[in-house]
Amino acid sequence: MNESKNILQQIASLLLYQSVFKSKIGTAFIELLNDIDRYNELAENNSLSFLNLLETYGHWFKLIAATNRSWQDYLITRILQDDNPFSQQVQKVSIEQLPSSLIIAAKQDLQILQNIYNCSTQQISDRVQRISHSPVKIHAWNLENSVNTFLQSKQNWTDALEDLATYYRQHGTGIVAQYHALRWQKSQFIGIAHPDPIQLKEIIGYESQKEALKKNTEFLLAGYPALHVLLYGSRGSGKSSLVKALLPEYRDRGLRLIEVSKSELQNLPTIVEQLRDSPQKFIIFVDDLSFEEDDDAFKALKVVLEGSLTARANNIVVYATSNRRHLIREFFSDRPRPSDADEIHSWDNVQEKLSFSDRFGLTLTFEPPNQNTYLNIVNLLAEQAGITIEKTELEFRAKQWATRGNGRSGRTARQFIDYLRAELA
């Protein structure tokens, strides 16, 4: 049996890790092996029959090159992110508690994957070159491996099962393992490849609010009950930036940030159920929150904040920002007036609206900065940016910028510093 057919049979024998090859690159690899096996049996003088083989190899080469990773690194990453019965269950219980059949299947798959890992791209390109008799040199995609994990350190990957289980518990599987920041869109999670890199140290002027939010987040990460948080205050004060800055601060401790728009809030109970059993901790981030009367999103968020017959998920909190202290719009016409047509207990409806924000366990208020606070923010941001112009000139220009622009706020200060840094450069 030739080598390509042997590898194909091993891939077909995978019991748990089939998804490792359920991707464009994995599919192209299988197609290439099929072509190598098929054309290896053709007559050597039929050179035209090998054009498809060369095209298939080129397609696989291009896909791998686009990742800027080695073939071995790609395989390792797919294994570490694979979502299968073993990787799912081992996050909840120890290996000893898993069915023996699941352990045997996982070990068999790891042995197969190690065999494929050891098949180098040079061996594959040499095989294509020999079969096709191509007058053009068939180059291999040779790139030094950069992913060094416990798998490479084991002579036999089946001995790494406990380490693999530990990895899944720490990092999760599937898209949660691949991305630290995600958004819910059209009934599915979408990974955010380049989340906002803002750091907590860059947010200046609201130290007590920052410390309160950090402490609550650390409660969440430590497994203690954490509160849902409403960040309320003036525009441009850094409410959203403060939430986003938690991710680079705590992602190494298993934190994930899930962005949910107001239009998707009706799916919030579904989102919570999908994340409930994960060992990671999740902040559901809702920006610029407000509701109209009889809004379905209001009802969905209320269920998550207050709970229902279903137990609360202890690994999930909601952090919402708003420019409104009372999140549901209220009009003077809503106020009860004596009339036969009025609801008898109409004041209860008004109170229901006004008290919704109280359902957040923690409310952090962000007042607009006065001039001294604004200038303090400007000076600290200038120091972080390496801007060394005279303090009096810096502050004079900062006040001019605020007067001509959007007023004094943390956002205005950052916009001014970004402009000034570009101008000086």
Domain that holds residue 405: 371-424
Q: HSE of 73 in the Cβ direction (CA atoms, 13 Å)?
A: 14
Q: Is the pLDDT of residue 264 over 60?
A: yes
Cα Rg, the chain, nearest whole Å? 29
| Least confident span in 80-89, 195-204, 318-327, 345-354 | 345-354
pLDDT of the residue at 337 = 53
Q: Which residues contact 397 (CB under 8 A, 6 or more apart)?
A: 416, 420
Local confidence band at 132 (pLDDT 50, 70, 90 cut-offs): confident
What is the average pLDDT across 275-296? 80
Of 151, 174, 197, the one marking the end of a domain is 174
Local confidence band at 352 (pLDDT 50, 70, 90 cut-offs): very low
Residue 55 and residue 156 in one domain: yes
What is the average pLDDT across 272-283? 90
d(CA 413, CA 394) in angstroms, rounded, equals 11
Cβ atoms 310, 348 nearer than 8 A: no
Per-chain mean pLDDT for the chain: 85
DSSP bridge pairs for 354 = none
d(CA 345, CA 170) in angstroms, rounded, equals 51
Q: Is the pLDDT of residue 215 over 90?
A: yes
Sign of dihedral through CA atoms 79, 81, 84, 87?
A: positive
pLDDT of the residue at 348 = 45
Residue 237 and residue 334 in one domain: yes
Q: Is the pLDDT of residue 357 over 70?
A: no
Is pLDDT larger for residue 288 or for residue 353? 288
Q: Is the pLDDT of residue 298 over 70?
A: no
pLDDT in tens, 71-81: 999 999 999 99
Question: How many other β-carbons are positioned within 10 Å of the β-carbon of residue 17?
Answer: 22
pLDDT of the residue at 346 = 43
d(CA 133, CA 136) in angstroms, rounded, equals 9
Please name which of 38, 31, 39, 37 lies closest in space to residue 4, comparing C-alpha atoms. Answer: 37
d(CA 70, CA 51) in angstroms, rounded, equals 25
pLDDT in tens, 310-345: 667 889 999 989 876 554 444 444 445 555 445 444
Is pLDDT larger for residue 63 or for residue 350? 63
d(CA 274, CA 268) in angstroms, rounded, equals 10
pLDDT of the residue at 131 = 87
Of 327, 350, 365, the one marking the end of a domain is 365
| Least confident span in 65-79, 99-113, 242-256, 356-370 | 356-370
d(CA 148, CA 82) in angstroms, rounded, equals 17
Cβ atoms 265, 258 nearer than 8 A: no
Residue 61 and residue 32 in one domain: yes
Helix/strand/coil for 301: helix
- The DSSP bridge pattern shows strands 181-185 and 188-191 to be antiparallel
Residue 123 and residue 220 in one domain: no
* Residue 108 in tokens: 């068999």
Q: Is the pLDDT of residue 218 over 80?
A: yes
pLDDT of the residue at 358 = 67
DSSP secondary structure letter of residue 98: S
Residue 199 and residue 274 in one domain: yes
Residue environment code for 195-209, b if the CB has 16+ CB neighbours within 10 A, otherwise e: beebebebbbbbeeb
Residue 61 and residue 88 in one domain: yes
Residue 67 and residue 167 in one domain: yes
Is pLDDT larger for residue 336 or for residue 166? 166
DSSP secondary structure letter of residue 313: P
Q: Is the pLDDT of residue 189 over 90?
A: yes
Q: Which residues contact 6 (CB under 8 A, 6 or more apart)?
A: none
Q: Is 38 left (phi over 0), alpha (psi -120 to 50) or beta?
A: alpha
Residue 150 and residue 242 in one domain: no
Which residue, chain included where needed, has tokens 């609206």? 353
Residue 93 and residue 166 in one domain: yes
Sheet holding 316-322, edge to edge: 188-191, 181-185, 255-259, 281-286, 316-322, 229-233, 362-366
Residue 218 and residue 169 in one domain: no
Q: What is the largest CA-CA distance in the chain?
A: 99
Residue 261 and residue 137 in one domain: no
CATH number at residue 281: 3.40.50.300
Residue 230 and residue 167 in one domain: no
As a three-state string, the secondary structure of 218-270 is HHHHHCCCCCCEEEEECCCCCHHHHHHCHHHHHHHHCEEEEECCHHHHHHHHH
Of 145, 174, 203, the one marking the end of a domain is 174
* Residue 102 in tokens: 């699941």
pLDDT of the residue at 66 = 95
For the chain, the domain total comes to 3
Sign of dihedral through CA atoms 188, 189, 192, 197?
A: positive
